[in-house]
Structure 1
Amino acid sequence: MLVAALSAAMALTATSASATASASYAVTPGGAFSGHGAPATWAWPAMSFYCSATDVAGSLVPAPVGSVVGTVSSVAFSGCTLAGIAFSITLTSGARPLTATGAVAGRPTWVGLSVSGLAFRMTGTGCTANFGGGLTGHYENDTGDLVVDGSTMTVSAANCLGLLQAGDPTDLDADYAVTPHQTIQVS
């Protein structure tokens, strides 16, 4: 019985993966986009803090070939503080591909998105750290919101009073109002 359950789960996973891989996308109007959000939350096992504002910019391809629907060229954060200490967070990886991951179950107007290979540097009084990896989330066609709510990022190096260690998972929660309003269709 366990073998049958595992086989069914593996078949479902394979079907979902092949359905996502074979999906095609259309973006309207495409081109350069920007997004503004407030606040954003960064979190690690031993600390977390808010940034009062965050901005993202990039470009979208109107008729993408495959699942890469555009690029994210910049991500900026301002007003980041913890216990009165100001932190700056800088994107150091440059532009990265923005990949559509398919429709979001139960949300007919949402499209899953991911970006990988991101690298950030954080500096503050008595604290420096490098971290990177991927972010996941979704775009809401009805509201024009780009939501970041998943992460595979980890700390690669840190000198931060023992609060951050290499290998610590790094999470970002952010919500951006995208302009101009875009539509990403899945077929």
Structure 2
Amino acid sequence: MGVTCQLLLTKANEGVSYYKAGQSVTGTLKYVFDKPTEFTSATLSLIGSGFCQWQTQLANSILIHVGNEDYVVQHMDLLQAKQGEVVTIQPGSYEHPFNFKLPEEIPSSHKDDVGNITYKVELRFIKSGLVKNSNKFNTIITVYGDVKPNIPQPLMAGLNKEYKFLCRKNFLNLKAQIRKKKQRS
């Protein structure tokens, strides 16, 4: 059987299962081994990345455009092993609490035909030996970015209208104030 794993996330917002930019992603990692197993690393990570792909046609050829971007990559080393050191994990149950902080300026989770932005908590065990086998477990989380206005000051608008009169002055200057309509309760 090898290893079984559970990534238990703490609900972030009054019992709902999404996170906002700047919040902490917390929870408990639980895993069980049924026999002694040697590993070179065991890493719990918070990963947020974007991927897009689309194509355009130019004359007789098709161009494929691909883009990748990382928004957050945070790691937690579970073995605390030195580089190249092999650690044997004995049979039994293990628990590790975790806490990752999402950056303030990240985009929301998204998926469409052109691409996606995904966030996940991922556990990866890498076994020792000539062939580097790995066990990987992950859970996708939904993240909403923080929407901020583009213009920090009030928006000023103006209108310059030219009128022709049979007098010496060619312009009529008008000034107006627009009041915000009060909401009825």
TM-score (norm 1): 0.27
Greater strand share, structure number:
1
Q: Pick the structure with greater CA Rg.
A: 2
TM-score (norm 2): 0.28
Greater helix share, structure number:
1
Q: Which has the higher contact order (CA 8 A, sep 6+)?
A: 2
